[in-house]
Amino acid sequence: MAMERLKIYPENKGPIRQFGLSLAKAVLAVTGVRDPELKIQDKSEWERQASRFTELGFHNELKLTKEEYLASLPKFESQPKEYKGTLDTPLLVETRVPIQRQAKLAGIDYLLTGLDKKDWPDDPKQYKTPDVPYTTWTDEGARFMNRRVQDVRQELASFERGGTEFDGVASYIVKPQILEERFLDLPGTAVGSAFAAYLNRWHGQAELLHRSIAYAVPGFGSLVCRRKI
């Protein structure tokens, strides 16, 4: 009933709306149905992130209209309870466009061309980047600040994996200001056997390159993502 009233009177944003939402949440908590406000927030955030890809012309790269492109993208799933407090940020990731081209569209200097780069081969569950777009949950690199990539890789929970260059570029596309908060190590993309990819900004220019996994650098955080795709 509360949710029906909110549908009928959507302009009501005062105490009655707040009471209605509180009542709806209480009912939904008992029934096990997900919080309606979270659905609204997830939809709004998905639309915001998806629009960033169309703004950069990703649909043109795939020879799709904007509408066709948006329809081809997966939606966000509910955040599992075990992720709360660790993987709190939903992220839309595109993989159908080559990473070098994605970087160019996003205004990132891609400095890994010609190098031996791949998904981290020693990942405990042999994670492989899918060839279709996906959604994930991330920590935006905030949890493992100023840490060696080789140590971070060993400390991840079973439902976590190191972010890859695709996750890093997507993070920058949907939130360019992330590099004002921290630079991103990308433990999921190995370069040779002793290096990993990372995303930073140098003299105002975003760059994707690589560095040793054996050293911690101040201001860097390792991007961690949900393992499940």
Residue 210 in contact with residue 112, Cβ under 8 Å?
A: yes
Give the count of alpha carbons within 13 A of 168, CB side only: 33
pTM of the model: 0.83
Q: What pLDDT is attached to residue 43?
A: 82
Please give the C-alpha separations between residue 52 and each of 2, 37, 175, 192, 206, in angstroms, as whole numbers. Answer: 34, 23, 9, 32, 17
Q: What pLDDT, on the 0 to 100 scale, is given for residue 106?
A: 98
Digit-by-digit pLDDT tens for the chain (229 residues) are 334 433 433 444 444 344 444 444 443 343 344 444 444 466 899 999 999 999 999 999 999 999 999 999 999 999 999 999 999 999 999 999 999 999 999 999 999 999 999 999 999 999 999 999 999 999 999 999 999 999 999 999 999 999 999 999 999 999 999 999 999 999 999 999 999 999 999 999 999 999 999 999 999 999 999 999 8
Which residues lie below 8 Å from residue 86, measured CB to CB, with a gap of 6+?
139, 143, 157, 160, 224
Rounded-to-integer distance, Cα 60 and Cα 65, Å: 7
The rounded distance, in Å, linking the Cα atoms of 40 and 194 is 43
Q: ∠ CA 36-13-47 to the nearest 5 degrees?
A: 50
Label each residue of 198-218 as H, E or C: EEEEECCEEEEEEEECCCCCC
Distance, in Å, from the CA atom of 106 to the CA atom of 151, rounded to the nearest integer, reads 30
